[in-house]
Chains A and B, each alone.
Chain A
């Protein structure tokens, strides 16, 4: 369970990105966060695994106060949280399987990680993760040979190889075309159900968010202005979240 209590985040430059966020996400939920650019979506997501440290308030994951974690404790905590990015963040010059195996280095002894020797169990785990997202046959292809959608699946497989409890996805399909986006989102849903992994995803497109996530969180200028099931997201609420009428850009459109 993820619990935000009066969470405030002010960046060193003085920008306050989160203004008293209260939130509870149960294990196994699929949550989409929507809001304007600059509303604080990425900040909210990244404070969960302490890629950003919160300024005040309390943020607990499975009962552990995240901001109290440091060094090795923090790293052990992060191993249980996978992350997916808009730009995939793969090492393009190496093979797909090496990219997935990179998720294992945190668990390996130093000399093994330096020499890049992976155990058979790790290799099987990586291949199974690739199989789960349907690109097993690409395992030994260089990452830059893949399409955007395939690259995002590799990134998802890299997450899975971590055996996470939670996956944080920062606009995972914003740079993909509509058809590919739908397929990748379907993979997220499948993984969410199959392994009961919590998925928290920042979404740029409202239609995609409501189609795949059961719960929507609307954030505006660092504050939560909507939190409820996706069916309850009305046009009025959307206008409130976005501070304007929605435009074509806010929807991905038909695939």
Chain B
């Protein structure tokens, strides 16, 4: 062990059969691992994380689960509508966000936009926006447009727009620019060259990341109700408040099934695409 650590700090030179000597570079892990340990300890101190509380109160988790079983099956008809609302919020939000992401990704790719200043300002602005969690957008839109699914859908659309823009321009920046150059040299604008030379190359990945975002959004949509932005979360919050754990159990069960069904379908399609 001691020897191993010594070797990491001062790697011994290696001699090749022809007599050349290569000194291996020290691995970056030598610095990263101690740093991570210190950061973890520091974070645990700040967040008052300790294992004693975890063991003493952790059991409560299972007590809660116990109260949810068996779920109140008879309650199912009244959650159908909010469940569909949740799914619809995700579908609409994802589609709107994905559609808007395409033009913004075009304007954010450094191999397409040659104006460095524009690119920098544009990217800075949107990367600042992107740091905000989806709940913040939901709260904001709730105050502007009132409680309900519209605010939630808008939050999902906005969030998807920002995330997908970044995912897309990172794909665009690694694309083969040859066809783009060829179309541009034939006298086409960059927009048209993008559309006919780059779009066919990224279409599969575009659909794939749209589905991936949809998966994520179904999960967020369930939470958004918590801040009053529509969907199943609204109901979940209410039933938890009233301590009707058997109904909570049913809601969670329905959510689990839905998310699982959507995820596996979407994964299947994405696999076919790649």
Contacts and interface: CB of A to CB of B under 8 A. Distances in A.
A and B: interacting chains: yes
Interface string A78-94: 11111101011111111
B76 interface: no
A133 B155 CA distance: 54
A106 B178 contact: no
Contacts of A102: 179, 182-183, 186, 196-197
A49 interface: yes
Interface residues of B, number: 21
A255 interface: no
A175 B197 CA distance: 22
A116 B199 CA distance: 12
A113 B196 contact: yes
Given A51-B181, A89-B178, A162 B201 contact: no
A134 B49 CA distance: 74
Do most interface residues of chain A lie in helix, strand or loop, or is the interface mixed?
Answer: mixed
B182 A78 contact: no
B189 interface: yes
Given A75-B187, A91-B197, A93-B201, A106 B181 contact: no
A251 to B, nearest CB: 27
A113 B186 contact: no
Interface residues of A, number: 33
B250 to A, nearest CB: 46
A114 B178 contact: no
B175 to A, nearest CB: 10
A92 B66 CA distance: 57
Contacts of B192: 105-106, 110, 113
A87 B184 CA distance: 16
Contacts of B204: 93
B64 interface: no
A74 B192 CA distance: 15
Interface string B51-89: 000000000000000000000000000000000000000
Given A49-B185, A98-B200, 13 more contacts: A51-B184, A78-B186, A81-B185, A88-B178, A91-B197, A91-B200, A91-B201, A102-B197, A105-B196, A106-B187, A106-B189, A162-B186, A162-B187
